[in-house]
Amino acid sequence: MNDEINDVYLTLDSIFKLKLKSQIKESGLTFKKFLYITDLVKENKYYMLYVCSDVIYFNDLGELYSELERIIDKELIDIMNEVNSYQNHLRTDLKCDETFIHNELDGLGYKESKLYKIKAQIEKNTKNKK
């Protein structure tokens, strides 16, 4: 089992029927922990999901999708910053490992493509629910 498709993702998918498995694979989105919380003081119940370095709190699939899109947008910004950094090294460094940088840029491009596919699938799933 890879990092993205793990027991946490499979449990989440079994409850909410996300239909994102093929898009999630090799996307860099890692599902670390999935909890159902009961706030005994406020008598609220909600889900808590650790994705990458973020925590999502939600009650239903719509909220989960919104939060996943927020995390994806954040990841896409991080990718853009990394790409800009590598391109800057290519332009300004007298000595740099161009092969390494091009390989890294290819990997970032693939990850970016996977994240956009997840966003598209979320939009499709959201439209089908209405």
Residue 86 belongs to a domain = yes
The residues, any chain, with a CB within 8 Å of residue 27's CB and separated by 6 or more, are: 4, 111, 114, 115, 118
The per-residue pLDDT for 130 is 58
The residues, any chain, with a CB within 8 Å of residue 108's CB and separated by 6 or more, are: 79, 82, 83, 86
Residue 23 belongs to a domain = yes
Count of structural domains, the chain: 1
Residue 6 has pLDDT above 70, yes or no: yes
The per-residue pLDDT for 91 is 86
Residue 47 belongs to a domain = yes
Q: Please give the residue range of the domain that contains residue 78.
A: 7-129
Query: Measured between alpha carbons, how far is 74 from 126 in angstroms, rounded to an integer?
Result: 20
Residue 46 belongs to a domain = yes
Residue 122 belongs to a domain = yes
The residues, any chain, with a CB within 8 Å of residue 75's CB and separated by 6 or more, are: 28, 29, 52, 111, 115
Residue 72 belongs to a domain = yes
pTM above 0.75, yes or no: yes
120: its two tokens: 């598209």
Digit-coded pLDDT (tens) for 18-63:
888 888 888 889 999 999 999 899 888 999 999 989 999 999 999 9
* Helix runs in 1-130, H state only: 7-16, 21-24, 61-92, 98-129
Residue 1 belongs to a domain = no
Residue 2 belongs to a domain = no
> Which has more confidence, 82 or 20?
82
With bands split at pLDDT 50, 70 and 90, how would you rate the model's confidence at 97? confident
| Beta carbons of 26 and 94 less than 8 angstroms apart | no
